[in-house]
Amino acid sequence: MKPQTVEAVLYRPADVPEPPGAANFTAQALAEVQGWYTDRLGASFSIVPPVSFAAGQAWEEIAAAARGPGYAPGTACGFNIWRAAVADIASRGFNICDDSRTRFLLYFRPPLPAGDETPVGLGGTVGVENFGCRYARPGMFCMSDQMTRLLCGETTEALRAAGWDVPWFASTERAPRGAIAHELVHCWTELPHSETGHTITNSWWDWPEVGFLREEERILVTSGALVRA
């Protein structure tokens, strides 16, 4: 695999505004994670400025299409929403199949009523063969829900007041950064979640204090030509 450049893609439904300063907040977070990798490995990935896209449909239209006929509102269909966003940006000429770039999709959705499972699956990492590429890795990862808002400077208190569910492990400014560092490992390797040790494949919410990786994990990441000095 080639040395990687990480590129953030900011995506939103037509009726959901992009948070103020989202591109700058995202670029800053990626730079911090880049520095964290350098500190732990002596090498890192490259970064390019984020790009932004607005869908041609409102959130409810997107969700209804993702659920499909006969499924009630609130039915989990998050990965279909993710897939539709990638298809949308690809239709506008964005090359999603570039094996030197790891794409990070931030999906800005609205808060939803308690128990609404619509966005389940709208997050994590998948191999890009799911989007029609001829290879699986580098994979693509997506962040949605309250994590995108924390990344863009909103407070936990403000998010909860606006109706967002904010679990303890994703309630701090550092949580989205830890999630980025964590998902990059999944994009580049087949490493599972660690069940032992205070590592980024386990306790990502403790970033940056969390250790990088166990030695065998460190070797897998660096030997794959995924980071560079």
How confident is residue 227, by pLDDT bands cut at 50, 70 and 90? low
pLDDT of 220 reads 66
d(CA 88, CA 10): 13
pLDDT-above-90 percentage for the chain: 75
State whether the Cα torsion 154-155-161-164 is positive or negative: positive
Radius of gyration of the chain (CA): 17
Give the contacts of 75 (CB within 8 A, at least 6 positions apart): 67, 117, 118
pLDDT digits (tens, 9 = 90+) for 18-35: 999 999 999 999 999 999
pTM for the model: 0.93
Residue among 154, 153, 108 nearest 11 (CA): 108
pLDDT digits (tens, 9 = 90+) for 201-214: 888 999 998 876 66
Is 225 or 99 the better-scoring residue by pLDDT?
99
Q: Which domains does the chain have, with CATH numbers?
A: 5-223 (3.40.390)
Amino acid 202 reads N
How confident is residue 222, by pLDDT bands cut at 50, 70 and 90? low
pLDDT of 127 reads 96
How confident is residue 225, by pLDDT bands cut at 50, 70 and 90? very low
How confident is residue 155, by pLDDT bands cut at 50, 70 and 90? very high
d(CA 106, CA 141): 9
pLDDT digits (tens, 9 = 90+) for 44-84: 899 999 999 999 999 999 999 999 999 999 999 999 999 99
The maximal CA–CA distance of the chain, rounded, in angstroms, is 53
For range 143-148, the mean pLDDT: 95
Give yes or no for residue 166 having a pLDDT over 50: yes
pLDDT digits (tens, 9 = 90+) for 184-195: 989 988 777 777
Q: Output the CA–CA distances (angstroms, integers) from residue 75 to 19, 71, 78, 90, in the order listed.
A: 26, 7, 9, 26
H or E element that contains 52: strand 51-54
